[in-house]
Amino acid sequence: MRARVIAVLALALFGAATPWIPLIGDWEERTTDARFQLRGPLPEGKRVVVVAVDDATEGAWRGIPKAMWSGELAKVVTKLDEAGASLIALDFVVAADPDQYLSSKGIDETPNSDLDRAIVESQGRTLLGTSRQGDVAPPLDDPTRLVSVNRSTAESGVVRLVPRFDPSFPTPLIGIAAALAGEVGGRADPIEINYSGRPPTIVSVRDLLDGRFDPALLRGAHVIVGETYAGSADLHQTPFADQVSGVVIHSEAARTLLDGNELRIMPPWVVSILTAIVTLLFGFAATKLWVGRFYLLAVAFILVWATACYLAFVRIHAVWPLVSVSLMVLALVPGTVYAVRALEEHRKRLKARAQWGQMIGESSLLRLEANREAGLGAWGDFDCCLLSLDIADFTSLSKQYGKARAELVSDLNKLFPVVVDVIERSGGEVLNFMGDGLAAKWEIEGSDAVPNRAKVLAAAMEVLRAVDGLDATRAFGAARWDVRIGLASGEATLALVGSESRKQMTLYGDAVNLAARLEAAGKDEAIRSRLVVSDDYASAIRDVGASFDTVGFQPKGWDRPLKVWRLLEPARVTSAGAPVADPVRTM
């Protein structure tokens, strides 16, 4: 039991560490992605519009060097300002300064200055992107209107979050999504994007500049401008698609904040405590329950927990751990605890074999040990079939050996292994040897005792045939040996009795006494049979293929005669001079 407790505590410690194991963290994120798919689209909330440099726009601008796109962006900002956009964010980094170059060529165009002028005229409602310190060309590098356009704190894989404040800058810079949503500070943790599952509202830049758009769509909207054309390098994987433009991801992050449904990821320390507690509960359950019942309980719990995780995700946008809890409850806990239990049982069996194996049946000892561990004492009641066997006329037979006691013991050890082998092969257990006899039991399995009694009666007949085989081959030399058997069934009490210095396994009960009385009755003149069985074996007798008849017999200690069955055989004589039955004669 101590090993089980240690195993459970070790599992709890491992469970507490699961939030910091990268592989398990990755699996947890995959289950979160699956919850998006199961949940489906969210209801439409605050309006975030993507004004996209799409394939049509990129085709129209193909003759304009990308370093001079700032002039076109200036027109976009002016159009959006005129349409009444609430806030405008440019998901672009203007790193080049074409104004001086164009001036040196005598070209009267100032793209960057035009964009700067449009931003100023929007009266603080336009934000410009930057990805690292000092990468924005003047005069657009006013820090009061710069926001980080970095996509994610993750280097690769599914984008699940974006920086609220980007720590890669000397002074953490607010992210474009947080700025678009109007956040001004206070929190440094990333934005956990609650993807809507709906296509974003997109207006083509080309349509915007050509006037082919509905002004009502942009009036009062939060607008983010960025690239969506096929050749863009700004494409990322999300829970819903493999190739999603960064501007769309930022729009999802901004909408998440505006709608107030940011995902609530359970903190790692809470996951750690939760997983450890669940592991302890199911770990100690596994130390008590059989594996089938444990898995019924474990599967039921995981189904309930998975449902709770899904409902929490849908209703309160909370992400609760599923993989770590499932891994511990369904795999690691049962795998470890039942392995430890099996090892304990194996060690117990080895100990039982070493200490008692040659004197007491292993199943009986383990039953008593289990009872004692449960506080029931070293005893137990059960229904069983009982066999009592004795060597016929052993007193006279032993006189034949005279002082050759070693030879007598040697012949006993020829007979008993054969008898024990038949009993154990039929599922029985020899409880003890008593002089020239033994007692054995078969525990009754199931509610129908008839098949059990038939098995025991067949074993008794096989014992008789085995003894006859030994005698026929003169295994005992000139001496001729035979046995008598009594069979009964009923409730018996198995107990380990004695003192602290010496104990013995024994059986108590009317069925035990009756089996011994029936064996002894076999030598009575009125019965005279090698095998005498109680009346509850009547149904089994029909199937053994031997002749039996009934006689009345009143055992000592019984207040009335009992109907018993005896095996019918012609008499023969042993070398000791006592008449016994011939080998079993079938009908």
574 pLDDT tier (thresholds 50, 70, 90): very low
489-518 pLDDT, tens digit each: 999 888 777 776 776 777 889 999 999 999
Residue whose C-alpha is closest to residue 11's, from 282, 382, 288, 349? 282
Query: Both tokens of residue 516?
Result: 């011994």
Q: What is the pLDDT of residue 571?
A: 42
Q: Please, what is the average pLDDT of the chain?
A: 87
For the residues 398-425, what does the mean pLDDT come to?
A: 89
pLDDT of the residue at 580: 47
Q: What's residue 445's pLDDT?
A: 72
When pLDDT is cut at 50, 70 and 90, the band that residue 379 belongs to is low
**Predicted pLDDT of residue 404:** 80
Q: What's the whole-number mean pLDDT along residues 447-455? A: 82
pLDDT tens-digit readout, 185-210: 668 889 999 999 888 899 999 999 99
Whether the predicted pLDDT of 287 surpasses 70: yes
Tell me the per-residue pLDDT of 140-192, one tens digit each, with 9 for 90 and over: 999 999 999 986 645 457 888 899 998 888 888 999 999 999 887 668 889 99
Predicted TM-score (pTM) of the model is 0.61
User: Phi first, then psi: what are they for 536, rounded to 5°?
Assistant: -75, 0
Q: Which pLDDT value is given to residue 282?
A: 96
Query: How far is residue 22 CA from its own chain's centroid?
Result: 20
Rounded mean pLDDT, 411-435: 90
Per-residue model confidence as pLDDT tens digits over 527-549: 999 999 999 999 889 878 789 99
Nearest-10 crossing angle of helices 2-17, 268-288: 160
Q: How far from each other are the two terminal CA atoms of the chain, in whole angstroms?
A: 55
106 Rama sector, left if φ>0, alpha if ψ -120 to 50, beta otherwise: left
Mean pLDDT to the nearest integer, 221-226: 95
Residue 90 phi, psi (nearest 5): -95, 110
CA atoms within 13 A on the CB side of 85: 31
Comparing CA positions, the residue from 446, 447, 443, 450 lying closest to residue 427 is 443
Is the pLDDT confidence value at 304 over 70?
yes
